[in-house]
Chain A
Amino acid sequence: MGNEPKIFTKTYKWVGTRPVRPDGVDKVMGRAAFGADYQLPGMLFGAVVRSPHAHARIKSIDTSAALKLPGVHAAVTAADFPDLPSEVSAGGEAPVNFRHVSLNVIARDKVLYEGHAVAAVAATSPGLAAEAAALVTVDYEVLPHVIDVLEAMQPDAPVLHDDLYTSGVDPRPTTASNVAARTGFTLGDTAQGFAAAEVIVEREFKTEAVHQGYIEPHAAVATYAADGMATIWCTSQGQFMVREFTAKLLGMDISAIRVIPSEIGGGFGGKTTVYIEPLAVALAKKSGRPVKLVMSRVEVFKATGPTSGAWIKVKVGAKRDGKLTAGEMVLKYQAGAFPGSPATLGGMTGFAPYDIENASAECWDVVSNRPKCAAYRAPGAPMAAFGVESVLDELAQKLGMCPLELRMKNAAKAGTRALYGPKFLDIGYAETLTAAQVHPHWSMPLGPHQGRGIASGFWFNVGGPSSAAIHINEDGTAEVVTGNPDIGGSRASMALMAAEVLGIDYAKVKPMIGDTGQIAYSFLTGGSRVTFATGKAVCEAADATIAELKKRAAKLWKIDGQHVEWRDGQAWSTLDDGTDRAPLPLAKIAANASKTGGPISGAVSINAAGAGPGFGTHICDVEVDPETGGVTVLRYTAIQDVGRAIHPAYVEGQLQGGAAQGIGWALNEEYVYDAKGRLQNASVLDYRMPVASDLPMIDTVLVEVPNPGHPFGVRGVGEVPIVPPLAAVANAVSRATGVRIDALPISPPRLLKKLVDAGKV
């Protein structure tokens, strides 16, 4: 490694430029159709009846009074859905148990959290639907509940599922509990590593459940025709996921459902599963009319996925020179009402930036009476990183070492074996540290009550199944069809890559997102995979299109195809037979397509391998008001190895948005429950996400260490930026106050109490 970040030197005509996004005009004019913007003739409006209790047995549900109301056309309960067996299949961002998905969409015997759906009704207006929902009577037997993760693990805790036995422990337990699973990873010998250590730091941490906070609530319109065919218009991170999950939950064939994706108003992982879509189809089936279901913000908070609150213990050992000798972490993550917290992912990612010979992670997945957690940007990683990066900061203080140097000394590089198994290939973690060191932010002077924190983070980034089709139009323009909802500018990236490979103008490429009937399967938009995997599919579809274009040029020239080359959007003859052949531009070949074999297109479906891991390093400056405990973020810089930025402005946007979400997680956001297990802050006023006046400008540095697994070197970028901020902010506050922050959020009353307890004010 040199002292300067590696700069990606190859330049392209389109890749790396910042044109206006193709879907932009519709979005600034209010013309883009999001989930709630669809209307159909004769459409009914649905409303969902939800549990007021955190934990209760459903003794009976009576929908008769609701159905008697004129204008109410249907009511559904779990009795209208097949009782699915417990089976795990791959899907979403993690393995999926469809029995749990089904029971989460509509409760069968028990409600497991406040807000759990128990019935749904459809009526001619939203007001009438709400009235009908209020007339559904549910007889509950209220059961004791448990909210806290450590309490839920106690042997005398109320048990949510009487068929849940902890997996991954030996011997297998004989009684059901809330502990769904234990997983773990070991590298080397931690006992030896700690024995060799000269300094050891160990600390426990706690974080609260936080919501993805997308501004667009879940929304769907469904029709069900007499021939058993359903169509769903909805907002999601994957139309193919909605189709598969809905088919599964309703016992339908996948081919009987068509899902038309709307624009998506944010997801961050929270729209990688279904909630209302199967209910809308069931109501449409019963009523014979189109049904629209839109969640209120309260429903979004109470019934859709937050990510886990966590209990974390991290211990690291090091030599006096800062070389880490061992690291150990224990993670206990809330899964919510059904198993499936991202604890394992926390265990895999926490130590990943570091070359530690002896390391281990022990991960516990624990259910409690909270909404089932859903993926949230780098699921599981931010909490683990909060623990690890805080402990490293403390270690640096103990060693009297610069925290950046400590990280540099232990940075994972090509060839480092990660705790979770693989050896890294080309990675750019150390380069992000170097970039931090030379950034002016790192050496700016600090005033009283101010502190500077630094923290790093890792995310795998994923590939997986993606499809793309390119159609060359008669005039030489091109349509690029993919199957991934555009959540933050991906249409622009697809168009840039297609333009680059085909050699035509960006403005001549029209990217589109197909519904489930218009393009072959693509795994959902998540895991930072779209620009990498679907982008790779687009590049390969462009290659296939070029192969066809070359054949057509050969036909026009009446020469053998092997004598044709493609360069700068034109076919060139390489045949040296004395005839002068002017290059054939794409438009000319397209205009003659009917003479050479018909329409020209290229389509591929791939399983993209070679995703490049991403690393980031963030610097945060805060000022603490010792009188109120209020924390102001003064400066923030996010540095990340992005492989290659296809549209740098949208890549910067990912870094800035992730950092802002992480700052909210660190400072203010949390799920607050009362003694009865009811959520106390289910509104965006009381669940305090950062607003414009809470934040400074967020500077970004894009380090480009190309990923050899992608034609342009792309690494996923969306997840990494939410990993470092929790610790970057906490470390800054720790250094500003002299009190180590071990619990989030660092809200004013909590921080003030900590300062008072420590005798600092």
Chain B
Amino acid sequence: MAKHHVSMTVNGEPVEFLCETQQTLLDVLRDELELTGTKEGCGTGDCGACSVMLDGRLVCSCLVLGVETEGRHIETIEGVAQGSELHPIQQQLLEDAALQCGICTPGIVVAAKALLEQNLNPTETEVRYWLAGNLCRCTGYDKIVRSVMNAAAKMREEA
């Protein structure tokens, strides 16, 4: 089966890859581009571990085909920090001990960042519903939700 040639940008950098028709964006990121920060928890769009931004929209990369990304702009967890300077959400999650095993964390970071980009003053309920697509089996969400709100507060101060 012939592979497809696709060009897109990932975290601002143009990339090209060959992929099979059935390969998802998640497969492409992880297996072809070796960007393994984006995780696979289910492959069916139900856990949020694979969250990325596609042309500025939060999506499950396991529900996007690699061939659909021609000319698109992808942002992944690897692009969230500026070099070795953490994004305030990343820093806050660390300070609040809001990760245990850490497998859900990249998805949470990407999703929470997308929330705060459009609403820098979310209520607890807004955070909970926004993150309802990001499963975490370890934390019970308490520290994650608080941490996102704490990060928002700090970002408001700085804004």
Instruction: Check if A31 sits within 8 Å of B37, measured CB to CB.
Output: yes
- Contact, CB under 8 Å: B143 / A653: yes
B91 closest partner in A (C-beta): A28
Q: Are B77 and A488 in contact (CB under 8 A)?
A: no
Q: Which partner residue on chain B sits nearest A28 by CB separation?
A: B90
B81 located at the interface, meaning its Cβ lies under 8 Å from any Cβ of chain A in the complex: yes
A650 interfacial contact with B, CB 8 Å: yes
A263 within 8 A of B: yes
B141 within 8 A of A: yes
Which of A28, A266, A297 is the one whose CB lies under 8 Å from B86?
A: A28
Q: Determine whether the beta carbon of B104 is less than 8 Å from that of A215.
A: yes
Q: Which residue of A lies closest to B78 (CB)?
A: A30
**B28 CB–A CB distance under 8 Å:** no
Asked if A72 CB lies within 8 Å of chain B CBs, one says: no
Contact with A along B74-113 (1 / 0, CB 8 A): 0011101100001000110111110111111110010000
Q: Are the CB atoms of A488 and B138 closer together than 8 Å?
A: yes
Beta-carbon contact of B103 and A647 below 8 Å: no
**How far apart are A653's CB and chain B's nearest CB, in angstroms?**
5
* A683 x B44 contact (CB < 8 A): yes
A756–B102 Cα gap in the complex (Å)? 43
A30 in contact with B137 given A18-B97, A263-B101, A650-B100 (CB within 8 Å) = no
A215–B41 touching, CB < 8 Å: yes
- Once bound together, how far apart are the Cα atoms of A36 and B49, in whole Å? 13
Closest to B103 in A: A265
Q: How far is the CA of A650 from the CA of B38 in the complex (A)?
A: 24
Q: Of B39, B78, B81, B133, which is within 8 A of A34 by CB? A: B39
C-alpha spacing A424/B92, complex, angstroms: 41
B123 within 8 A of A: no
| One of A29, A684, A692 near B132 (C-beta < 8 A) | A692
> In the complex, which residues of chain B have a beta carbon less than 8 angstroms from the beta carbon of A1?
none
Complex contact A488–B100 (CB within 8 A): yes
Which residue of chain B is the closest to A29 with respect to CB atoms?
B81
Contacting residues, chain A, for B27 (C-beta < 8 A)? 126
CB distance from A176 to the nearest CB of B (A): 38
Neighbouring A residues of B125 by C-beta, 8 Å: 693
| Contact assessment for A214 and B137 in the assembled complex, using a CB-CB cutoff below 8 Å | yes
Q: Which of A19-27, A139-147, A359-367, A605-613 touches B?
A: A19-27
B37–A30 contact, CB under 8 A? yes
CB interface residues, A 683-699, toward B, < 8 Å: 683-685, 689-695, 697-698
Interface SS of chain B: loop
Contact: B40 with A217, CB < 8 Å?
yes
Question: How many Å lie between the Cα of A31 and that of B135 in the bound state?
Answer: 20
A659: chain B residues within 8 A (beta carbon): 140
A656 contacts partner chain B, Cβ-Cβ < 8 Å: yes
Q: Which of B140-159 contact A (CB under 8 A)?
A: 140-146
Q: Give the CA-CA distance A647 to B86 in the complex, in Å.
A: 23
Cβ contact within 8 Å between A297 and B137: no
B103 cross-chain contacts in A, Cβ below 8 A:
34, 214-216, 263, 265-266
A691: which of B22, B102, B133 is its contact (CB, 8 Å)? B133
A296 at the interface (CB under 8 A from B): yes
Whether B99 pairs with A24 at a CB distance below 8 angstroms is yes
B67 is an interface residue with CB less than 8 A from chain A:
no
| Neighbouring A residues of B77 by C-beta, 8 Å | 29-30
Contacts of B144 in A (CB 8 A): 692
Question: What CA separation (Å) do A297 and B41 show in the bound complex?
Answer: 7
Cross-chain contact A685 with B95 (CB below 8 angstroms): no
- Is B38 in contact with A30, judged by CB distance below 8 angstroms? yes
Instruction: Say whether A697 contacts B102, CB under 8 Å.
Output: no
Q: Are B132 and A691 in contact (CB under 8 A)?
A: yes
A29 touches B90 (CB 8 A): yes
For B91, B103, B134, the residue with the greatest tally of chain A CB atoms inside 10 Å of its CB is: B103
Of A28, A36, A39, A212, the residue contacting B109 (CB under 8 A) is A28
- A693 & B129 in contact (Cβ 8 Å cutoff): yes
Q: CA A337 – CA B67 in complex, angstroms?
A: 42
A264 at the interface (CB under 8 A from B): yes
Q: Which residues of B are found within 8 Å of A296, using beta-carbon distances?
A: 43
A690 to B142, CA, bound (A): 12
Question: How far is B92's CA from A25's CA once the two chains are assembled, in angstroms?
Answer: 11
**Is the Cβ of B39 less than 8 Å from the Cβ of A683?**
no
Establish whether residues B44 and A266, one from each chain, have CB atoms under 8 Å apart when the complex forms. no
Least Cβ distance of A272 to chain B in Å? 15
Q: What is the CA–CA distance of A265 and B37 in the complex, to the nearest angstrom?
A: 13
- Check if B34 sits within 8 Å of A39, measured CB to CB: yes
Minimum C-beta distance from A124 to chain B (A):
12
B127 touches A21 (CB 8 A): no
Q: Report the nearest B residue to A264, measured CB to CB.
A: B101
Q: Is B42 interfacial (CB 8 A cutoff)?
A: yes
Nearest-CB residue, chain A, relative to B97: A649
Which of B44, B80, B86 touches A25 (beta carbons < 8 Å)?
B86
Among B23, B99, B129, B133, the one with the most A-chain Cβ atoms within 10 Å of its Cβ is B99
**Given that A29-B90, A33-B36, A698-B142 are contacting pairs, would A125 and B99 also be in contact in the complex, using a CB cutoff of 8 Å?**
no
Residues of A within 8 A of B25 (CB): none
Contacting pair B97 A266 (CB below 8 A):
no
* Closest A residue, CB atoms, query B126: A693
Q: Which residue of A lies closest to B134 (CB)?
A: A692
**Are B140's CB and A656's CB within 8 A?**
yes
Task: Please tell me if A198 contacts chain B, counting CB pairs below 8 Å.
Answer: no
Say yes or no: is A489 at the interface (Cβ < 8 Å to chain B).
yes
Q: Which of A649-664 contact B (CB under 8 A)?
A: 649-650, 652-654, 656-661
A660 touching B94, Cβ below 8 Å: no
Task: Evaluate contact between A29 and B99: CB separation under 8 angstroms.
Answer: no
Determine the chain A residues whose CB is within 8 A of the CB of B104 once the complex forms. Answer: 215, 265
Nearest-Cβ distance from residue A722 to partner chain B, whole angstroms: 11
Task: Return the chain A residue nearest B92 by Cβ.
Answer: A28
Task: Answer whether residue A109 sits at the interface, using C-beta atoms and an 8 A cutoff.
Answer: no
The complex places the Cα of A552 from the Cα of B146 at a distance, in Å, of 48
Residues of B within 8 A of A649 (CB): 96-97, 143
Residues of B within 8 A of A125 (CB): 20
Please, what's the 1-or-0 string for A353-390, where 1 marks a CB less than 8 Å from any CB in chain B? 00000000000000000000000000000000000000
CB contact between B97 and one of A263, A267, A650 (< 8 Å): that residue: A650
B40 touches A27 (CB 8 A): no
Asked if B53 is an interface residue, CB under 8 A from chain A, the answer is no
Q: A297-B43, A685-B44 are in contact. Are A213 and B137 (CB under 8 A)?
A: yes
B73 at interface, CB cutoff 8 A:
no
Asked if A127 is an interface residue, CB under 8 A from chain B, the answer is yes
Distance, CA A15 to CA B2, complexed state (A): 59
The reply on A487 being an interface residue by CB < 8 A is yes
Residues of chain B with a CB closer than 8 A to A697's CB: 124, 142, 145-146
Quick one: which of A676-723 are within 8 Å of B by CB? 683-685, 689-695, 697-698
B20 touches A29 (CB 8 A): no
For residue B101, give the distance in angstroms from its CB to the closest CB of chain A. 5
Per a CB cutoff under 8 Å, which of B78, B101, B137, B142 touches A29?
B78
Given A28-B105, A685-B44, A698-B140, 19 new contacts (CB under 8 A):
A27-B105, A29-B81, A30-B77, A34-B36, A36-B40, A127-B20, A215-B41, A215-B137, A216-B101, A265-B39, A296-B43, A649-B97, A659-B140, A685-B46, A690-B141, A693-B128, A693-B129, A697-B146, A698-B142
19 A–B pairs (Cβ distance < 8 Å), ordered by A:
A21-B94, A24-B94, A27-B105, A28-B91, A30-B109, A32-B102, A36-B30, A126-B27, A215-B49, A215-B135, A216-B39, A264-B101, A294-B40, A489-B100, A656-B141, A656-B142, A683-B44, A684-B47, A697-B124
Question: Which 8 pairs show the lowest CB-CB distances between chains A and B?
Answer: A30-B37, A265-B103, A660-B140, A27-B102, A649-B97, A656-B140, A30-B77, A488-B100
